[in-house]
Amino acid sequence: MDLSGRATLYSFTVIRHALAPHLRDYLPMVIAVVEPEEAPSARLVANLVEVEIEDVVIGMPLEVVWEDAGDGVAVYRFRPADETARV
C-alpha cells in the first residue's frame, strides 16, 4: 500500500525530561501517535515537529517530513499540514 504522507493526530505526549544526556538538546519533544489517511486503523509513532506545543490539538491534520540521518538513512517525522500552524 502506498501512503500519501497525510495523517491525523490521534494522541500525543510531551517529553520534558531527558532519559539520556544526549537528548537534552531536543527537549521539550512532542511524541505523536498518528493515523495515516489511507489506513485509519493503523497507528504510527513519530516526533511532531515545526509546531508550538500549545498549538498541538488531537485531530489536527499532519503531513510527513523526512530527516536525513546520514549513511543513507532517513527518519520520518510529522508536522502540521496547515502551513500557518508551523513554526
For residue range 25-62, list pLDDT tens digits in order.
989 999 999 999 999 899 999 999 999 999 999 999 99
Task: Find where cell 515537529 sits.
Answer: 49
Q: Is the separation of the CB atoms in 78 and 48 below 8 Å?
A: yes
Alpha helices in 6-71 (DSSP H): none
For residue range 63-85, list pLDDT tens digits in order.
999 999 999 999 999 999 998 88
pLDDT at residue 1 above 80?
Answer: no
> Looking at residue 2, what is its pLDDT?
83
- Name 44's Cβ contacts closer than 8 Å, sequence gap at least 6: 7, 33, 34, 36, 76
Q: E-assigned strands of 1-87?
A: 6-15, 29-36, 44-48, 61-70, 73-80
pTM more than 0.85? yes
Q: Where are the domains of the chain?
A: 6-85
